[in-house]
Amino acid sequence: MKTKMKKAKIIPTLVSLVVGGLFGFLIASAGVDAAKDLPVEVFVLWGIAFLPVIILVIAAHEAGHALAGISQNFDFRMFVVGPFMWDKEQHGWKFK
């Protein structure tokens, strides 16, 4: 009985992986074709903007966790985003 249950869980996961992989491949292929006509400056700007944007997105995501924890009366002691950390100490918050 356990074997059937394991197969019942594995098959949808494998199907999801295959469908997601194919979808990602198609989207990436379309992106590569579209990018062939873009000037080099666009890629440079994307490269420069990528890291700050990713850090902002992660900060917003982590802030959601912090707000959810605060709403449940958790003791919020630290906030970390990439290489940046704010630590709650006796006299307030300290950036490290």
Q: What is the pLDDT of residue 38?
A: 83
Do 49 and 89 belong together in one domain? yes
Name the β-bridge partners of 87. 78, 94
Pair 63, 55: CB distance under 8 Å = no
Q: What is the pLDDT of residue 59?
A: 95
**Which portions of the chain are predicted below pLDDT 70?**
1-5
Do 18 and 49 belong together in one domain? no
Do 44 and 31 belong together in one domain? no
- Residue 81, φ and ψ in degrees, nearest 5: -135, 110
Nearest Cα to 95, choosing from 72, 79, 82? 79
* Domain extent for 21: 1-37
